[in-house]
Amino acid sequence: MDKARGGKQHGEPMPELLQFCVSGLTVGAVYALVALGFTIIYNASDVVNFAQGEFVMIGGMTTVFVAAAGVPLPLAALVAIAVAMGIGLLLHRLAIEPARGASAVTLIIITIGASIFLRGLAQVVFDKQFHSLPSFSGDTPIAFGGAAILPQSFWVLGGAAVIVVLLWAFFNRTLLGKAVLATAANRLAARLVGINTSFVVGLSFVLSAAIGAVAGILVTPITLTSYDVGTLLALKGFAAAMLGGMGNPLGAVVGGLTVGLLEAFGAGYISSTYKDAIAFIVILAVLFVMPGGLFGKASVERV
């Protein structure tokens, strides 16, 4: 995420602050989308899907290669999202569903295996090079309050906002979304009222894959992509989801943006080599005070 204008810049303190804010929010929006992907799958199935970052990679890489084959960028992006959704479905059907009922930690290792597999697959199908996409609206920075902002940043932030709104509408306004929420709240009860919970879990994987792919497509013009960008994104997204409070979509978004901002400010004001450290120190500090994350509820032990 280094090209996101996180480096030290000259100039007035206020524009500098604004610059860091925008670059932090841009990166943070991607973390937020990854964290949302974690949250959706976790709520539907209790699985912590460490292959979540690979969806971001698949989104970016597939768009790059389909576009390189001469397909127009918007169509290439759609193809990439469809590919990611297909892989999300396969991941659920071939790896998660057969292990239904296994312990949480076993399922996590399965998703880690899946992430290694997908990385290897990308290495074979694509290559090991870094790739970029053209920015959607050119590369001329927009002057804003003294700061120079890449137009692509607005695409990332806007895209993330649209996804959050669409998700909200899906979960609160559609029957299917409500079925997912019901499954998250109580799996047994959901099954008893006739909800096909296996379908719901599969849907959550497809949905998370789509969200990850969109994030990958939007951010590739800024950060570049390669077969192995998924690991670190999964880690950051997981940390963001935990910072917000596992299972809480609002927490995922706030957590993601916070981690992005912390990195940008840490890199800008303290030390770019320790920017990840700064984010994690804050996460540790928050968890020591709020052991259930920012939006987690204090749980009372039921005995």
In the complex, the residues that contact other proteins under the rule CB under 8 A are: 48, 95, 98-99, 102-103, 105-106, 108-110, 112-121, 123-124, 231, 235, 238-239, 242-243, 246, 273-274, 276-277, 280-281, 283-284, 287-288, 291-293, 300-303
Q: State which residue, 152 or 226, has the beta carbon closest to other proteins.
A: 226
C-alpha 63/C-alpha 272 separation (Å) is 30
Q: How far is the CB of 111 from other proteins (least distance, A)?
A: 9
Q: How far is the CB of 154 from other proteins (least distance, A)?
A: 30
Q: State which residue, 94 or 169, has the beta carbon closest to other proteins.
A: 94
Q: How far is the CB of 215 from other proteins (least distance, A)?
A: 20
Q: Closest Cα to residue 2, out of 211, 273, 218, 278?
A: 273
Q: How far is the CB of 18 from other proteins (least distance, A)?
A: 28
Q: State which residue, 212 or 221, has the beta carbon closest to other proteins.
A: 212
Q: How far is the CB of 50 from other proteins (least distance, A)?
A: 8
Q: State which residue, 181 or 282, has the beta carbon closest to other proteins.
A: 282
Q: State which residue, 71 or 112, has the beta carbon closest to other proteins.
A: 112
Q: How far is the CB of 31 from other proteins (least distance, A)?
A: 13
Q: State which residue, 93 or 165, has the beta carbon closest to other proteins.
A: 93
Q: How far is the CB of 194 from other proteins (least distance, A)?
A: 28
DSSP for the chain reads -TTTT-S---S-HHHHHHHHHHHHHHHHHHHHHHHHHHHHHHHHHS---TTHHHHHHHHHHHHHHHHHTT--HHHHHHHHHHHHHHHHHHIIIIIIGGGTT--HHHHHHHHHHHHHHHHHHHHHHS-SS-B----TT-SPPEEETTEEE-HHHHHHHHHHHHHHHHHHHHHHHSHHHHHHHHHHH-HHHHHHTT--HHHHHHHHHHHHHHHHHHHHHHHHHHH-B-TT-HHHHHHHHHHHHHHH-TT-HHHHHHHHHHHHHHHHHIIIII-STTHHHHHHHHHHHHHHH-TT-TTPPPPPP--
Q: State which residue, 118 or 160, has the beta carbon closest to other proteins.
A: 118
In the numeric block, the tokens 């053209």 are attached to: 134
